[in-house]
Structure 1
Amino acid sequence: MTAAPVALDELIATREKMLEIMVAQMPEAHRAFLVGIERGDVDWGLSGLTDAASLPAVRWKLSNLGMLSADRRETQAKNLEGIWQ
């Protein structure tokens, strides 16, 4: 809930701007970490978290990605890299 009414268009525009800023300012190490997850070649040191591999959401994501073919994973990794170009 908000203290003042907010138009749906304003919320959508704010969401888009936030995503644009997050993508533009994401550090290279974080980008490489995310692409590594997609490819199945994760450099856990890039995450900045010592226990990232044991986080339930990360394990769930890796499990789902493990069900994909290598070609499909590579396609997804390339699509992800395309976001930053």
Structure 2
Amino acid sequence: MTIELRFFASVREQLGVAEERAEVPAEVRTVGELRQWLRQRGGAWAETLAEGRALRMAVDHAVARPDTAISDGCEVAFFPPVTGG
């Protein structure tokens, strides 16, 4: 499955990449599994996407939970929590 990845704000800065197209293994079916798979890259990927770290995710521009399904051609975005005031 091929998906589009987007990284915003501090996530983009820490990873050093704003976007990429990724070929994801068939066993990766949810946003949580994708996050875990990306952490296996090690280094900044493991640190930035670490379990328990405050991070928001979206699939095709809709806020997603770790159990949100991903599919071929979808766009998955990772970004820090946003606060306003």
Q: Same fold (TM over 0.5)?
A: no
What TM-score comes out, normalization by structure 1 length?
0.28
Question: Which structure has the bigger radius of gyration?
Answer: 1
Structure of higher RCO (CA pairs closer than 8 Å, 6+ residues apart)? 2
Q: Which structure carries more helix by proportion?
A: 1
What TM-score comes out, normalization by structure 2 length?
0.28
Q: Which structure carries more strand by proportion?
A: 2
